[in-house]
Amino acid sequence: MSKADYYEVLGVSRTASDQELKSAYRKLALKFHPDRNPGDHAAEEKFKEASEAYQVLCDPDKRAAYDRFGHAGVGAAGAGGGFQGFSGSVDLGDIFGDLFGEMFNMGGGGGGRASRQQRGDDLRFDLSIEFEDAIFGKETEVKIRRLESCPTCAGRGSASGRGPSVCTHCQGRGQIRYQQGFFSVARTCSACGGTGSIIGDPCQTCRGETRVSKELKLTVKVPPGVEDGTRIRYAGEGDAGRTNGPRGDLYVVLSIQPHDFFERDGHDLRCVVPISFPQAALGAEIEIQAIDGAVTLKIPEGTQSGKEIRIRGRGVPVLHGKGHGDLVVKVIVQVPRKLSRQQREVVHRLSELLSVENKPTSPSLLEKMKDLFN
What is residue 190's predicted lDDT score, i.e. its pLDDT? 81
Closest CA relative to residue 325, chosen from 306, 311, 339:
311
Could you tell me if 302 and 343 lie in one domain? yes
Closest CA relative to residue 308, chosen from 337, 351, 275, 267:
275
- Asked if the structure places residue 238 within a domain, the reply is yes
pLDDT(365) > 80: no
Crossing angle for the helix pair 92-100 and 18-32, to the nearest 10 degrees? 60
What is residue 107's predicted lDDT score, i.e. its pLDDT? 38
- Asked if the structure places residue 348 within a domain, the reply is yes
- Asked if the structure places residue 118 within a domain, the reply is no
Average pLDDT, the chain: 82
> What's the burial of 141, exposed, middle or buried (CB within 10 Å: 0-12/13-18/19+)?
exposed
**CA–CA dist 197, 91 (Å, integer):** 31
What is residue 287's predicted lDDT score, i.e. its pLDDT? 94
- Asked if the structure places residue 110 within a domain, the reply is no
Could you tell me if 138 and 56 lie in one domain? no
**Does this model's pTM top 0.75?**
no
Contact yes or no for 194/174 (Cβ under 8 A): yes
DSSP state of 216: E
Better pLDDT: 293 or 79: 293
Annotated binding site: 150, 153, 167, 170, 189, 192, 203, 206
Could you tell me if 245 and 284 lie in one domain? no
Written as one string, the DSSP assignment of 239-283 is PPPGGGPPP--EEEEEEEPPPSS-EEETTEEEEEEEE-HHHHHH-
Query: What is the per-residue pLDDT across 181-209, written as a single tens digit (0 to 9) for each?
Result: 556 677 888 877 777 778 878 888 998 88
Could you tell me if 219 and 277 lie in one domain? no
Query: What is the per-residue pLDDT across 216-229, written as a single tens digit (0 to 9) for each?
Result: 999 999 999 999 99
What is residue 41's predicted lDDT score, i.e. its pLDDT? 86
Which residue type, as a one-letter code, is found at position 93?
G
What is residue 2's predicted lDDT score, i.e. its pLDDT? 66
Domain assignment of residue 29, given as a range: 6-101
Annotated binding site for Zn(2+): 150, 153, 167, 170, 189, 192, 203, 206
Cα angle 367-373-374, degrees, rounded to a multiple of 5 = 85
- Asked if the structure places residue 1 within a domain, the reply is no
- CATH number of the domain within which 54 lies: 1.10.287.110
Tallying the residues shown for the chain, one arrives at: 374
E-strand stretches of the chain: 104-105, 123-129, 138-149, 165-166, 175-180, 183-188, 197-198, 211-222, 231-234, 250-256, 263-265, 268-275, 284-290, 293-299, 308-311, 327-333
Which of 235, 256, 277 finishes a domain? 256
Q: What is the mean pLDDT of residues 271-277?
A: 94
- CATH number of the domain within which 313 lies: 2.60.260.20
- Asked if the structure places residue 293 within a domain, the reply is yes
Which of 206, 240, 256 finishes a domain? 256
**CA–CA dist 332, 62 (Å, integer):** 87
Helix (H, G, I), strand (E, B) or coil at 67: helix
Which of 256, 281, 309 finishes a domain? 256
- Asked if the structure places residue 41 within a domain, the reply is yes
| Beta-sheet strand order (sheet of 231-234) | 123-129, 250-256, 231-234
Question: What domain count does the chain have?
Answer: 3
**CA–CA dist 24, 79 (Å, integer):** 24
Question: If pLDDT is split at 50, 70 and 90, which confidence band does 118 have?
Answer: confident
Could you tell me if 80 and 133 lie in one domain? no
Could you tell me if 184 and 275 lie in one domain? no
